[in-house]
Structure 1
Amino acid sequence: MMNKIKKYLSILILLNSIVLYSQNNEIFILDSETKLPIETVNIYYPAIQEGTFTNADGEATINIRDYDLKISHIAYQERIINSKELPNSNTFYLTPKSVILDEVIVSSFNLTKALQYVLENYESLYENQPFEKECNFKEILSIDNKLKRLIVTKVNWWSRSYNYSHLRDLKLRLGAIDFNVNNPMDIFTDIPKENIPSNSGFIDTKNLINTIYLNVFLINFIKTNPKLDFIIENSSVNETTVSFTTEWKKRYTYSFRSKGKIIFDNETKAIISFTNEVENKDRIIKSYTSRGNKEFSYETINSISALNFQKNKNNKWAVNSFQVSADFNITYNDVKHNGNIKNNLYVLKNTQIEKVKNVGLINLSKPIYQNLPKDIVTHSNSILLSNDERNFIEEK
């Protein structure tokens, strides 16, 4: 009899542990001063290198684990939530980082030298062993402030190290597709079949890769911008935040310049956040519809890329989120339509792994959305949709 009781108790404990392990907690992250939601907050278990990010409503769900949880955003002071506190709370506030200026740093800082230092010491600063990152990839296309494309899918990113040199050194594999809605643009009103989503443009996958690897991006950035005007916005004990602009340059028939913000870690001198915006003047391409041969113009206004990093188990800096977006205009029949396309990559889990199988690989010569099969859709909520995105999905 006693053995049976012990057996039942063991089964009950096992079932309870499974329930606890799989339990999700809904979390809201708000600004402590404005009480407004904060987007792209990293909610992360450092001990197991696993986590998620908040959506535009400051909302996320996280599996409850028996580890302390780190809540961080590049513009806010990070918080550590004790594992025992997590099941009992669902709203947390982050305090904005204060602006501090250290006169010693201000007087001695040289941005060009700081960028060169990162390149020269790249392998000692950033993760340099083979890894696989389980990611959420999200693509949004809006025309005239209305959603037209929304894709959320899992992407497994394997690389020999975070030092990109050849395409063969990395593999992107598709996982479960959470959402895949691709509606017509409604621009070519008199030629409905011309409103295919690809006519609005897309972000080239190879260009995306050249931006997501910091070493390639820095080489191109320094080469294109040998002279930078900059100011130090913040120079605290831990970080130095620098904003920069470049002069306008002429290319072909249009002009462009860069501006942005870089955050350096003061201890390692590594770049831990890099936001770069390329502004364009008169970057206009004239084209013709495939049906009716009617003229329209496509103008690229700007493009923005942003990389953010956090330390991994080996005390190296590892990418935890990436965003690239572009604003554009399409003018047809004397009507100008505003557009925006955005690609986000959120790292949900980071694992050291030497090799992966060549299964489900993404064709890097195509945009991500053209790699998606139309008939395989699941609904796993690693990254939650915002209210606007949910409404778009429900109205499809």
Structure 2
Amino acid sequence: MKKIKNCFRIIILLNSIISYSQNRAILILDSVTKLPIETVNIYYPEIQEGTFTNSDGEASINIRDYDLKISHIAYQEKNINSKELQNSNTFYLTPKSIDLDEVVVSSFNLNKALLYVLKNYEKLYENQAFEKECNFKETLSIDNKLKRLILTKVNWWSKSYQIKHLSDLKMRLGAIDYNINNPMDVFMDIPKDNIPSNSGFINTTNLISSIYLNSFLVNFIKYNPDLEAVIEKSSDNELIVSFTSDWKSTSNYLYRSKGKIIFDKKTKAIISITNEVENQNRITKSFTVRGNKRFSYENINSVSILNFIKNKSNHWSLNSFEVSADFNITYNDVKHNGNIKNNLFVLKDTPMEKVKNLGLINLSKPIYQNLPKDNITTASSILLSNEERSFIDVNSGIKNR
């Protein structure tokens, strides 16, 4: 009888371990349009761990014994308990309904608001040493066809969410899900000039400095001293401000900034910022390496997006970061459209005073040049979209996971 009881105990223990480690597929849709919502943060606030939806509104979350929070800057938050999670895998978010306050005026002193954030930076944003377990994702598309797909874990350690020197941070490579980097297929008559390194990348040092809001704002203010800003929407909790700069000229081209910033009304902190730099006639003319044939590269725009959530210590913490650029390559009188995008998704946030120096990223190189050629899969990661899964299938024979 004791043996039977012990067997039951073992079975129950095994079941609890298995259920604890289970993943749950989740689909997030807009309650009005019924369309999927991208970059929804699905996380456990108690342990500051979670994931994000892909462009198909899909995510996979590890089942924990905590309530889930589903969050997106444009939607009302939703809390899900463990029972709801077991009974359903589709959840709907309601768009935020933000009405203008009666006291709202059209103009807004954006420069003053940004200087306030910088002056009170340590009070508003996390100010202790941390390590964030992140997914880094990079895609490159030419003529709307994927050419590069990198998805890897990156462990980001920093003394605080404030950067003064690159020595204040360490970025280490973790498990690699996918690393496919195909030729551009632009120089059709000179195949060897289509090598991936010619297709461009986002400078890693600039990428790192941009994920720190203090560095981002200092550069933003420096290059945009005279912005026209208006209050677009206002509610009890949030203030949404849109901005546009005048066109400015350099020796070769014109550029301007435009975008949107969401402020938390209570703390006056920035909780989301989108900045697009538009270019006119920013064209570089060059020659192919092997054929010495003329081609031109046009930088159309670049977009940076930072989003924040509150952590357990009641400070604002970076939740996700995106930087992308649109460009054209004209060769043999044929214009090819391109887009390159880097995303950083924070999956887990842990206070940590020190970390080891193993696997540090060389910040002078693009991320993909830091990666080994072999794929190392991991179960816990951002899900690929249908388009990306098809790309993986074609290039490596890996079936949909």
**Which TM-score band applies after superposition, normalised by the shorter structure?**
over 0.9
Distance 1:173 1:51 in 2: 20
Determine the C-alpha separation between the residues in 2 that align with 1:380 and 1:290.
41
Aligned partners of 2:108 and 2:230 also within 8 Å: no
3-state SS of paired residue (1:320) = strand
1:245 aligns with 2:233: no
Q: Where does 1:1-396 land on structure 2 (aligned, <5 Å)?
A: 1-2=1-2, 4-106=3-105, 109-396=108-395
Query: 3-state SS of the aligned residue for 1:106?
Result: coil
**SS of match in other structure, 2:39:** coil
Displacement of 1:10: 2.8
Contact 2:178 2:375 in 1 (8 A): no
Shift of the alpha carbon at 1:11?
Answer: 1.7
Aligned letter for 1:146? K
Secondary structure, in 3 states, of the residue corresponding to 1:390?
A: helix
The letter for the 1-side match of 2:240 is T
Indicate conservation of the 8 Å contact 1:106/1:235, yes or no: no
Write the letter of the residue equivalent to 1:271: I
Equivalent-residue separation in structure 1 for 2:290 and 2:107 (angstroms): 60
Question: CA deviation digits over 1:148-179, x for unaligned, max 9?
Answer: 00010000000000000111110110011101
Equivalent pair of 1:99/1:233 in contact (CA under 8 Å): no
3-state SS of paired residue (2:82): coil
Which amino acid counterpart does residue 66 of structure 2 have in structure 1? Y
Map Cα deviations across residues 329-353 of structure 1 (whole Å, 9 max, x no partner). 0111111100000000100000000
AA aligned to 1:256 is Y
CA-CA distance at 1:108 after TM superposition: 8.1
Residue 197 of structure 1 deviates from its aligned partner by 1.6
* TM superposition score normalised by structure 1: 0.98
Q: Write the deviation string for residues 307-336 of structure 1: whole angstroms up to 9, x where unpaired.
A: 000011100000010000000001111111
Q: CA RMSD in A?
A: 1.2
Structure 2: tracts of 5 or more residues without a match: 396-401
- The letter for the 1-side match of 2:202 is I
CA–CA distance in structure 2, aligned partners of residues 109 and 326 of structure 1? 28
Determine if contact 1:298/1:330 at 8 Å carries over to the other structure: yes
Q: 1:381 offset after TM fit, Å?
A: 4.5
Could you give the per-residue CA deviations for residues 120-172 of structure 1, whole angstroms, max 9, x where no partner exists? 00001000000000001100000000000001000000000000011111011
Name the CA distance, whole Å, in 1 between partners of 2:346 and 2:217. Answer: 21
Amino acid aligned to 1:46: P
Q: Which amino acid in the other structure matches residue 65 of structure 1?
A: R
Corresponding letter in the other structure for 1:311 = K
Map Cα deviations across residues 295-318 of structure 1 (whole Å, 9 max, x no partner). Answer: 111110000000000011100000
What letter matches 1:339 in structure 2?
G
Q: Normalising to structure 2: TM-score of the pair?
A: 0.96
**Structure 1 stretches (4+) deviating beyond 4 angstroms?**
none
Displacement of 1:37 after TM fit?
0.2
**1:195 CA drift (Å):** 0.2
2:398 corresponds to: none
Amino acid at match of 1:138: K
CA distance in 2, matches of 1:90, 1:181: 31
State the alpha-carbon separation in 1 of the partners of residues 103 and 82 from structure 2: 40
Q: Deviations over 1:186-229 (max 9, x none)?
A: 10011000001221211000111121100001011111111111
Count of residue pairs brought into register by the alignment: 395
2:106, 2:143 → 1: CA distance?
46
For 1:114 and 1:23, locate their aligned partners in 2 and report how far apart those are by CA, in whole Å: 45
Letter in 1 for 2:367: I
Q: Which residue type is aligned with residue 283 of structure 2? A: I
- Match of 1:140, SS state, is strand
Matched residue of 2:205: which SS? helix
- State the 1:106 CA deviation: 3.1
What amino acid is aligned across from residue 92 of structure 1 in structure 2?
A: F
Q: Displacement, 1:270? A: 0.4
Q: Secondary structure at the match of 1:293?
A: coil
Aligned-partner Cα distance in 2 for 1:147–1:383: 18
Task: Quote how far apart the aligned CAs of 1:5 are.
Answer: 4.1
Are 1:160 and 1:170, in contact at CA under 8 Å, matched by a contact in 2? yes
| Partner Cα distance (1:220, 1:25) in 2 | 41
- State, as a whole percentage, how many aligned pairs show the same letter: 76
In the alignment, the residues of structure 2 paired with residue 241 and residue 348 of structure 1 have an alpha-carbon distance, to the nearest angstrom, of 26
Q: Which runs of 5+ in 1 are unaligned?
A: none
**Larger CA deviation: 158-167 vs 5-14:** 5-14
Query: CA shift at 1:6, angstroms?
Result: 4.2
Could you tell me which amino acid in structure 1 is paired with residue 259 of structure 2?
Answer: G
Q: Take 1:360 and 1:239, find their aligned partners in 2: how far apart are those partners? A: 40
Conserved 8 A contact 2:138-2:343: yes
User: SS where residue 118 of structure 1 aligns?
Assistant: helix
In 2, the alpha carbon distance for the partners of 1:35 and 1:308 equals 24
